[in-house]
Amino acid sequence: MSDHTFDPFALGSGLPLADTNAVITNAEFKFDTAYSADACVIALTFQPEDGGEAQEQLYSVGKNFEPLSRGSELGHTSGRSVNINAQSNYGRFLGAAGGCEGFKEYAGKTNATPFEAALWIGTRWHLTTVEYETRNPQQPGSEAKVRSAVVPDEFLGEDSGN
């Protein structure tokens, strides 16, 4: 079970899913023009276990990726196998999930990969936020901006369906 205790002196990110236990109820690769005109995203729907409202989070996968099979799979436009970029938000999410005890064993049991949306559906997580710096690649001398992303820090297993 999660052993996260409240620290009244800690500061929050302001992101609604931070420090929450949630189950992923839906996952889909897609293009979302409100997020970015040319970057594929994975849309993960989190249902907080405290009974809060379900929330969809979009994680950029990166350029030259595209949704396949009506969003259930992810492919690269080159047709080759290409790793997900560690600097994308999906890369951050995937890296954090891969570092959680028990998740890689679970993934191996399901035979699903991060290129299949089904890998995430029914998984339970404790979520936190990470900060990262980003720069506009079109402007090499641009100032770095600090952003936050919701990522898992503990794998809580499979949803029991209750």
Residue 59 structural domain: 20-157
Q: Which residues pair with 75 in a beta bridge?
A: 66
pLDDT of residue 1: 45
Within-domain flag for 9:
no
Within-domain flag for 42:
yes
pLDDT of residue 12: 56
pTM, two decimals, is 0.85
Nearest-Å Rg of the Cα atoms of the chain is 16
Nearest to 93 by CA among 24, 151, 133: 151
Within-domain flag for 104:
yes
pLDDT at 4 over 70: no
For 47-99, the pLDDT digits (tens) are 999 888 999 999 999 889 999 999 999 999 999 999 999 889 999 999 999 99
**Into how many domains does the chain fold?**
1
Within-domain flag for 3:
no
Within-domain flag for 105:
yes
Q: Which alpha helices (H) appear in the chain, and where do they start and end? A: 89-98, 103-110
Within-domain flag for 44:
yes
Within-domain flag for 46:
yes
Within-domain flag for 11:
no
DSSP state of 103: H
